[in-house]
């Protein structure tokens, strides 16, 4: 079996899908790329048995068809330093020896029998199909991914919840402390449906989608999803289980409304949080007469800090505690110059909103407070 392929083209495709491969695999064959030559194209697959990513590439001067597996680390390291030029692959399908020739050299390595490579699961007949624009999907993942959990006890929280209706699609994520609800009216389903996309395939999509244009097809059943991009096919196992009712935890009556400059607020949080106690990691916000006082202290080391910022606030004085890293995360994921915080009392979650919603978007973030020792 023989084919000629562009060195940069092959390397960029291999590198893009190599993120799927785990550093330690239960099956040794999963350390490899699966390469399948058929009708003048090669399809290249990487998998960790739960997530599989496939891409394809045009090749020239092919002889024969077939498939083989090759060590991902070896082939990536070998191609890394080869500048743009044609590479000639010759594969002995009996001994699995692979010889690669380039302009002023060659290298040979051993491949493996591709029959050992696990099959990608097929979707059941009752699979649901959804079409969503690549930029809408990317925005939904970007805004939600940071709020997902790493929780072995509650695995449903370890992914992004896609809540699909005939009017909109909501991307929701929560780790029990922070919650993101990103509703988009730029996409909808033909029926009511839902699935939980695990963190790993969501991260892969976050890296692949910026280069995509046009629409993305998502098909899913109760166990797996197949996401079709222009140049890639992602198949992944979904998180099974019932996602919590995220709308029920969002407080509705929040009389205390604050509008503050987002960048200035983030800077103040970063400076003041240096002096918070390592044990509690607590920062206190005190609101009064168009000012917001950000303070922290560590009694054990006799350190403290406070800063006062101007804001729009005309309610009764209120003090509330938050974990600064979570609050900074939320502020970094809201795009507007100013941000609105809606608060009810020190024991209920604070609702964070952009001052202006983008077209077709309804973005809401929630952060649970920490108890103040007063």
State the residue for tokens 């594969």: 91
Mean pLDDT of the chain: 93
Buried-exposed string 139-156: b where 16+ CB fall within 10 A, e elsewhere: bbbbbbbbbbbeeeeeeb
Answering whether pTM is above 0.85, one says yes
H or E segment and range at residue 135 = helix 134-144
Q: Is pLDDT of 303 > 80?
A: yes
- Kindly give the interhelix angle for 134-144 and 199-208, rounded to the nearest 10 degrees: 130
Superfamily of domain 128-248 in the CATH hierarchy = DNA Polymerase III, subunit A, domain 2 (3.10.150.10)
Give residue 278's pLDDT band: very low, low, confident or very high (50, 70, 90): confident
pLDDT at 340: 95
pLDDT of 359-369, one tens digit each? 999 999 999 99
HSE-up of 141 (CA within 13 Å, CB side)? Answer: 22
Buried-exposed string 214-229: b where 16+ CB fall within 10 A, e elsewhere: eebebebbeebbbbeb
pLDDT of 185-240, one tens digit each? 999 999 999 999 999 999 999 999 999 988 999 999 989 999 999 989 999 999 99
Percent of the chain with pLDDT over 70: 100
Give residue 336's pLDDT band: very low, low, confident or very high (50, 70, 90): very high
* Number of neighbouring beta carbons within 10 Å of residue 38: 12
**1, 65 Cβ separation under 8 angstroms:** yes
Q: What is the 3-state secondary structure (H, E, C) of 187-217?
A: CCCCCCEEEEEEHHHHHHHHHHHHHCCCEEE
**168, 190 Cβ separation under 8 angstroms:** no
pLDDT at 372: 80
Mean pLDDT for the stretch of residues 63-91: 93
Residue 45 burial by CB count (10 A; 0-12/13-18/19+): exposed, middle or buried? buried
Q: What share of the chain is helix, strand, coil (3-state, %, to 5)?
A: 25, 40, 35
Token code pair at residue 373: 């020792």
pLDDT at 171: 97
CA 287 to chain centroid: 35
Query: The CATH number of 250-367 is which of 3.10.150.10, 3.90.70.10, 3.40.50.720, 3.20.190.10?
Result: 3.10.150.10
Instruction: Answer whether 128-248 and 250-367 agree in fold.
Output: yes
Mean pLDDT for the stretch of residues 310-338: 94
| Sheet containing strand 303-310, strands side by side | 303-310, 291-298, 283-288, 318-322
- The CA distances from residue 372 to 263, 282, 295, 329, 346, in Å, are 25, 8, 12, 21, 8
pLDDT at 121: 87
Residue in 176, 197, 302 with CA at minimum distance from that of residue 239? 197
Residue in 370, 355, 123 with CA at minimum distance from that of residue 258? 355
- The CA distances from residue 59 to 40, 89, 108, 144, 276, in Å, are 6, 10, 19, 38, 59
- The CA distances from residue 141 to 56, 198, 226, 320, in Å, are 25, 11, 16, 30
Alpha carbon distance 334, 337 (integer Å): 9
Superfamily of domain 2-116 in the CATH hierarchy = DNA Polymerase III, subunit A, domain 2 (3.10.150.10)
Domains of the chain, residue spans: 2-116, 128-248, 250-367
Q: Is pLDDT of 33 > 90?
A: yes
HSE-up of 2 (CA within 13 Å, CB side)? Answer: 6
Q: Is pLDDT of 373 > 80?
A: no
Q: Could you report how far apart the first and last alpha carbons of the chain are, in Å?
A: 75
Residue in 258, 255, 227 with CA at minimum distance from that of residue 340? 258
Percent of the chain with pLDDT over 90: 83
Q: Is pLDDT of 374 > 70?
A: no
Give residue 6's pLDDT band: very low, low, confident or very high (50, 70, 90): very high
Mean pLDDT for the stretch of residues 127-150: 95
Mean pLDDT for the stretch of residues 30-41: 93
């Amino acid at each position: 079996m023989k084919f000629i392929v562009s060195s940069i083209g092959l390397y960029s495709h291999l590198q893009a899908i190599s993120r799927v491969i785990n550093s330690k695999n239960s099956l040794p064959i999963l350390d490899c790329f699966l390469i399948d030559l058929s009708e003048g194209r090669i399809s290249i697959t990487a998998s960790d048995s739960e997530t599989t990513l496939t891409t394809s590439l045009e090749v020239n001067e092919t002889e024969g068809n077939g498939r083989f597996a090759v060590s991902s680390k070896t082939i990536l390291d070998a191609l890394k330093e080869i500048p743009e030029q044609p590479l000639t692959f010759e594969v002995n399908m009996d001994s699995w020896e692979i010889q690669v020739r380039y302009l002023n050299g060659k290298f040979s390595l051993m491949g493996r029998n591709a029959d050992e490579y696990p099959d990608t699961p097929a979707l059941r007949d009752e699979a649901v199909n959804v079409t969503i624009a690549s930029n809408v999907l990317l925005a939904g993942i970007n805004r939600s991914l940071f709020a997902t959990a790493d929780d072995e006890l509650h695995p449903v929280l370890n992914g992004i919840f896609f809540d699909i209706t005939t009017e909109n699609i909501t991307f929701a994520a929560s780790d029990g402390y922070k919650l993101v609800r990103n509703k988009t009216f730029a996409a909808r389903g033909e029926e009511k449906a839902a699935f939980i996309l695990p963190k790993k395939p969501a991260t892969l999509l976050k890296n692949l989608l910026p280069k995509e244009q046009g629409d993305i097809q998502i098909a899913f059943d109760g166990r797996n999803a197949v996401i079709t991009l222009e140049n890639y096919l992602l198949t992944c196992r979904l998180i099974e289980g019932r996602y919590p009712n995220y709308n029920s935890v969002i407080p509705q009556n929040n009389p205390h409304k604050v509008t503050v400059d987002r960048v200035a607020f983030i800077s103040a949080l970063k400076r003041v949080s240096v002096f918070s106690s390592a044990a509690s990691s607590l920062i206190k916000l005190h609101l009064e007469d168009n000012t917001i006082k950000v303070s922290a202290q560590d009694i054990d080391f006799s350190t403290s800090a406070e800063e006062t910022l101007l804001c729009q606030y005309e309610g009764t004085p209120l003090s509330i505690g938050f974990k600064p890293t979570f609050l900074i995360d939320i502020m970094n994921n809201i795009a507007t110059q100013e941000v609105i915080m809606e608060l009810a009392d020190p024991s209920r979650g604070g609702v964070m909103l952009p001052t202006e919603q983008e077209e077709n978007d309804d973005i809401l973030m929630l952060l649970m407070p920490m108890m103040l020792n007063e």
